[in-house]
Amino acid sequence: MKHKVDVVVIGSGIGGLCCAAVCARAGREVLVLEAHSQPGGAAHGFQRQGYHFESGPSLWSGLARWPSNNPLAQILRALDQPLEVIPYSNWDVLLPEGDLRVPVGRSGFEAVVRDLRGSAVMEEWQRFSDLLQPIAAAANALPLLALRPGLDAMAQLLERGPQLFRHLPAMRHLSGAFGPLVDRHLQDPFLRHWVDLLCFLISGMPMGDTNAAAMATLFGDWFDPEASLDYPVGGSAAVVDALVQGLKRHGGAVRTQARVERILLEDGRAVGVRLQDGESIHADQLVSNADIWSTLALLPEGAASAWRHDRAGTPACNGFLHLHLGFDASGLDDLPIHTVWVDDWQRGIAAERNAVVLSVPSVLDPNMAPPGRHVLHGYTPASEPWDLWRDVERGSEAYNALKQERCGVFWSVLERKIPDIRDRCELVMEGTPLTHRHYLNVHQGSYGPALSAAGGLFPGVTTPIHDLWLCGASTFPGIGIPPVAASGALAAHGIVGRQVQRSLLKELGL
Ligand SMILES: Cc1cc2nc3c(=O)[nH]c(=O)nc-3n(C[C@H](O)[C@H](O)[C@H](O)COP(=O)(O)OP(=O)(O)OC[C@H]3O[C@@H](n4cnc5c(N)ncnc54)[C@H](O)[C@@H]3O)c2cc1C
């Protein structure tokens, strides 16, 4: 193994892979170092007894069509790595108001609102939708891939001047939280709860803390008469594989089971990394895709101490309980790919064990499970308190008892959908924030930084240490697949320069 490359990326999450692939495409020699045995981070897939399990994302969109405002779709296109996806257009929700099948597009959702809450509330929703359209258009007018690291907003506005000026009135909404818009324009409790749920699924935080641009983009996509969500054939592992293949075709490489133990600095510059096995690898530029707390722990004592102190205080979102099942599919013909359950709106959407996502990808992609079987990933999104797990040792008796008790929430929801689910199961795996931390190397098994959009944007990809960049869910624009892909491109563009970025944007027509 060669000991000097142009760019080392620590971590093969979607952000790290996107960064690596964009750098490699620009001719840089890139090496991605991943601690786990599989690439993909929160989006990695794993197999047991013929079942293909997902570890993270279940909701994907904007991958099937072009043009797409999804930065991941844009990067895959730049890499010429097409993805096969299965579009679908509804999902089930089990809410205090009742069990509903909710279509993705605008008119379908309006019909659900009319049936549930009456015509006046549907009209309230229509007015809100109309209000969001120019905000969504403003968000789309400034593609995230066009941004430069450092977030010099004024320079970006001037550069894209004519395209952007007509969106200026709507742009003031983009950098803040979504909550104030909702507070001003939605009174109906169901509509407000619905928006809060979607915000929570996107950001891990309620609407008062979720970025307005992210939500306007989501609703903008859903207003499209052809709106659909996409399930990537082969699951998130197929997305990761497409990025890895794109990287390799451009000469890059990924090494798994390569845990970085230390970022090496010389004269205040990042010059390489030392792995856990003692090997040192040098690089002209270093990018950390590890979360912010893990990245800080890799730096030598005393380096950039004011910045480290500041970033070490970043609050963390809560973590996850997971349920992975392989089960008998016979007679379950009407099962949706996703079911989202909320117990009690009054407890708040972020309350512990108040919301569950159940995802059964094999209803769309039968190859995810052996014939006649289904594979399920259930999780409590960003709501499991770390304090419950902090002092428990993974694998101990106390741990197993706590795990069984906490994961009980999944079974009661599942039994509503499939009363004999326990008898059908061939394979059962339950997971906790400790499992999550163990496999994904994430601080406290957290979803990511709990940085409220009301307090501003996520920190950018630059650091005070020369030649050290950041990307992933701890950096602007934030948590979730499209944002981390964008952060990877942002860091890459900082490394490869403005000219390369311009020609990429031109090729993509952005
Ligand atoms: C259960 C769950 C459901 C989700 N659902 C959705 C969804 O439906 N839609 C959506 O858009 N988003 C969803 N997300 C969020 C999304 O998956 C994440 O925000 C995103 O994948 C994080 O990517 P990242 O680039 O920050 O890297 P991460 O996925 O955090 O990966 C970082 C990588 O760095 C590696 N690493 C860390 N330290 C080191 C080290 N010292 N040496 C070497 N390697 C190291 C880790 O092993 C890891 O592979 C979900 C997340 C989870 C967990």
> Which residues are within 8 A (CB) of 136 and not within 5 positions of it... i.e. 6 or more apart?
216, 217, 219, 220, 221, 223
Centre a 10 Å sphere on the Cβ of residue 149 and count the other Cβ atoms it contains: 21
Domains, in order of start, for the chain: 4-82+232-315+449-508 (3.50.50.60), 104-230 (no CATH), 322-445 (no CATH)
pLDDT of residue 241: 98
**Torsions phi, psi of 406, nearest 5?**
-70, -35
CA of 173 to the centre of ligand 1 (A): 28
Residue with CA nearest ligand 1 atom 34: 11
Strands 260-266 and 269-275, bridge-based pairing = antiparallel
Report how far residue 455's alpha carbon sits from residue 446's, in angstroms, rounded to the nearest whole number. Answer: 20
| pLDDT tens track for 163-183 | 777 888 888 888 899 999 999
By most ligand atoms within 8 Å of CB, the mutation choice from 276, 434, 484 for ligand 1 is 484
Helices (H), 269-424: 292-298, 305-312, 397-406, 408-417, 421-424
Tokens of 404: 């069984």
Strands 85-88 and 260-266, bridge-based pairing = unpaired
Which DSSP symbol is given to 328? E
Report how far residue 297's alpha carbon sits from residue 363's, in angstroms, rounded to the nearest whole number. Answer: 42
Tokens of 106: 């605008």
Q: How far apart are the first and last CA of the chain?
A: 38
pLDDT of residue 169: 83
CA of 357 to the centre of ligand 1 (A): 17
| CB of 290 closer than 6 angstroms to any ligand 1 atom | yes
pLDDT of residue 263: 98
| pLDDT tens track for 233-251 | 999 999 999 999 999 999 9
By most ligand atoms within 8 Å of CB, the mutation choice from 34, 203, 429 for ligand 1 is 34
**CA proximity to 227, closest of 318, 143, 109:** 109
pTM: 0.96
Closest-lying ligand 1 atom to the alpha carbon of residue 379:
1
> Which residues are within 8 A (CB) of 187 and not within 5 positions of it... i.e. 6 or more apart?
124
By most ligand atoms within 8 Å of CB, the mutation choice from 46, 53, 239, 481 for ligand 1 is 481
CA of 329 to the centre of ligand 1 (A): 30
Mean pLDDT across the stretch 58-72? 92
CA of 507 to the centre of ligand 1 (A): 29
- By the 8 A CB rule, do 257 and 39 touch? no
Cis bond before residue 206 (omega within 30° of 0): no
- By the 8 A CB rule, do 454 and 394 touch? no
CA of residue 347 relative to chain centroid, distance: 25
pLDDT of residue 170: 84
Tokens of 121: 């509330």
Which DSSP symbol is given to 373? E
| pLDDT tens track for 442-451 | 999 999 999 9
CA of 444 to the centre of ligand 1 (A): 13
Q: What percent of the chain has pLDDT over 90?
A: 87
* C-alpha pair distances (Å), 84 with each of 12, 33, 81, 205, 230: 22, 27, 10, 31, 9
